[in-house]
């Protein structure tokens, strides 16, 4: 029996102005709760909800690159987590393409679990998203 390659990813999107300058942050934790990767990126002007979805999409893409099979995504965005779990419909036309991209990317994993967490439990990803806005020199994906 082979062991599933699993990861826990905390994501956050931040926007100053809503819409305004925005950034995303992601923190990857292994099964021993050790940080294995921190990423952040300035994404230009966006709403907070678009930034949250962008953080999700980048996190899923990174997880696919690293060949994780079983992922747990943790976010403090109630809207995002409820939509991903099918508890809320995606009504906003600007968010529908991101939701559809989530559905498409999710096919690359054995299992995705989406967990809603409190803001206080997402401080590392939040700091990274805000750092992306503060350091908006370019829009490349950065590691810490």
- Identify any residues that bridge with 73 across adjacent strands, giving them in sequence order: 9, 114
Mean pLDDT, the chain, whole residue set: 94
Q: How far is Cα 2 from Cα 141, in angstroms, rounded to an integer?
A: 32
Q: How far is Cα 16 from Cα 75, in angstroms, rounded to an integer?
A: 18
Q: Are 106 and 112 in contact (CB under 8 A)?
A: yes
pLDDT value at 138 more than 80? no
Instruction: Examine residue 1 and state whether it is found in any structural domain, yes or no.
Output: no
Query: Tens digits of per-residue pLDDT, 53-109?
Result: 999 999 999 999 999 999 999 999 999 999 999 999 999 999 999 999 999 999 999
Instruction: Examine residue 24 and state whether it is found in any structural domain, yes or no.
Output: yes
Domain that holds residue 57: 6-143
Instruction: Examine residue 20 and state whether it is found in any structural domain, yes or no.
Output: yes
pLDDT value at 3 more than 80? no
Instruction: Examine residue 17 and state whether it is found in any structural domain, yes or no.
Output: yes
pLDDT value at 139 more than 70? no
Q: Pairing relation of β-strands 20-29 and 6-15?
A: antiparallel
CATH number at residue 34: 3.30.420.10
Q: How far is Cα 92 from Cα 81, in angstroms, rounded to an integer?
A: 15
Mean pLDDT of 30-41: 96
DSSP secondary structure of the chain: -PPP-EEEEEEEEEESSSSEEEEEEEEEE-TTS-EEEEEEEEEEEE-HHHHHHHHHHHHHHHHHHTT-SEEEEEES-HHHHHHHTTSS----TTTHHHHHHHHHHHTTSSEEEEEE--GGGGHHHHHHHHHHHHTTT--S-EE-
pLDDT value at 130 more than 70? yes
**Number of folded domains that form the chain:** 1
pLDDT, residue 2, reads 55
Query: Tens digits of per-residue pLDDT, 13-27?
Result: 999 998 999 999 999
pLDDT, residue 137, reads 60
Q: Pairing relation of β-strands 142-143 and 35-46?
A: antiparallel
pLDDT interval class at 111 (50, 70, 90): very high
């Amino acid at each position: 029996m082979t062991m599933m390659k699993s990861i826990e990813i905390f994501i956050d999107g931040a926007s100053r102005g809503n819409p305004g300058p925005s950034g995303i942050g992601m923190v990857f934790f292994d099964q021993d709760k050790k940080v294995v990767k921190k990423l952040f990126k300035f994404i230009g002007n966006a709403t907070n909800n678009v930034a949250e979805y962008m953080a999700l999409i980048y996190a899923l893409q990174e997880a696919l690159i690293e060949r994780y099979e079983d992922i747990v995504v943790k976010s403090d965005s109630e809207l995002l987590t409820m939509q991903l779990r099918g508890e809320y419909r995606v009504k906003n036309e600007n968010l529908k393409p991101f939701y559809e991209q989530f559905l498409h990317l999710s096919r690359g994993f054995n299992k995705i679990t989406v967990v809603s967490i409190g803001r206080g439990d997402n401080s590392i990803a939040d700091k990274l998203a805000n750092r992306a806005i503060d350091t908006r020199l370019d829009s490349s994906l950065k590691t810490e």
